[in-house]
């Protein structure tokens, strides 16, 4: 196959949307589960099938954010058709990843799978990572895709991650005496900290995407802040379409203060009104700091890397 892999442009939005929508076998309404055609869904309903890539309107915003922030949306083109997309984020962070090129998403059109398109996209990502002087290339693979990335050479386990649901109803509500400032507007304020949750993502991509807004009209409950005394930054935000469940994004220095940081953010989440808080942390963090809290272990993930320093 004669495959061209290049950086996407805004003119490519429709083709990218077609790639992601090809994975959906049936479209249905959120409210009643009634099967409908794609054109009968509103933007929020389309988003629910997979995020901003599911409609031209939101994908255009998403792609524009990537390009404006000098990141790498890569597309695979075959016979003048867009048949695959990979999104690569490059940024530095503390820990084993160093300066990493993080593969955030990779999707190949349903009719063109098993033809080497995914490998071509990953090879281009590795090429860019080396040119950008990255220490590593990294990815959070689905269980089904793990073997594919291993074959591509991204095979070292950087982090083993526990997905945990904290029962906030059993958390003792404490009024923090720590000063809470505004969430950092620049990533430089977070580079010396470690991403604690969600640990299967890269620090830079997590921070950058937290600044992007899509104005879907869906009610979002969130609280962001920075605790200078504990050197911790956090985002507590409700899960999609659920008002009593939230997810935690957290940066801090790894060590004894994590217990204090967790106590503060758990209390904040409970005070907002959440009953459950989803946290995704390395197994060491889980064993040392989360086991003592009332929780449910939902599952596990891995973050893979390939070292590029000697490549």
Domains (range + CATH), the chain = 4-154 (3.40.630.30), 160-302 (3.40.630)
Span between the terminal Cα atoms of the chain, in Å: 27
Q: Can you give the pLDDT at residue 176? A: 66
Residues of the chain with pLDDT under 50: 311
Q: Can you give the pLDDT at residue 215? A: 85
pTM for this prediction? 0.95
User: Sign of dihedral through CA atoms 263, 211, 214, 25?
Assistant: negative
Q: Could you tell me if residue 262 is left (phi over 0), alpha (psi between -120 and 50 degrees) or otherwise beta?
A: alpha
């Amino acid at each position: 196959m004669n495959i061209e892999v290049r950086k996407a442009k805004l003119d490519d939005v429709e083709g990218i949307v077609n790639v992601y929508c090809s994975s959906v076998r049936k479209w249905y309404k959120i409210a009643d589960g009634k099967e409908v055609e794609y054109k009968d869904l509103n933007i929020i309903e389309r988003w629910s099938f997979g995020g901003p890539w599911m409609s031209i309107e939101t994908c255009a915003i998403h792609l524009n954010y990537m390009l404006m922030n000098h990141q790498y949306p890569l597309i695979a083109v075959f016979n003048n058709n867009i048949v695959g997309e990979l999104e690569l984020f490059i940024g530095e962070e503390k820990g084993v990843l160093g300066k990493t090129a993080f593969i955030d998403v990779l999707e190949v059109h349903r009719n063109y799978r098993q033809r080497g398109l995914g490998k071509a996209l990953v090879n281009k990502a590795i090429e860019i990572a080396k040119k950008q002087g990255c220490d590593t290339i990294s990815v959070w693979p689905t269980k089904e895709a793990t073997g594919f990335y291993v074959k591509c050479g991204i095979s070292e386990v950087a982090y083993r991650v526990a997905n945990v649901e904290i029962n906030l109803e059993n958390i003792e509500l404490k009024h923090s005496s720590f000063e809470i400032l505004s969430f950092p507007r620049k990533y430089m304020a977070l580079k010396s900290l470690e991403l604690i949750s969600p640990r299967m993502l890269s620090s830079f991509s997590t921070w950058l995407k937290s600044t992007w807004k899509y104005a879907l009209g869906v009610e979002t409950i969130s609280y962001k802040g920075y605790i200078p005394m504990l050197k911790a930054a956090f985002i507590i935000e409700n899960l999609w379409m659920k008002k009593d469940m939230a997810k935690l994004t957290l940066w801090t220095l790894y060590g004894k203060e994590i217990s204090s940081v967790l106590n503060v953010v758990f209390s904040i989440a409970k005070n907002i009104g959440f009953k459950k808080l989803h946290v995704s942390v390395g197994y060491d963090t889980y064993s040392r700091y989360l086991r003592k809290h009332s929780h449910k272990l939902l599952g596990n993930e891995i973050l893979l890397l390939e070292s590029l320093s000697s490549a």
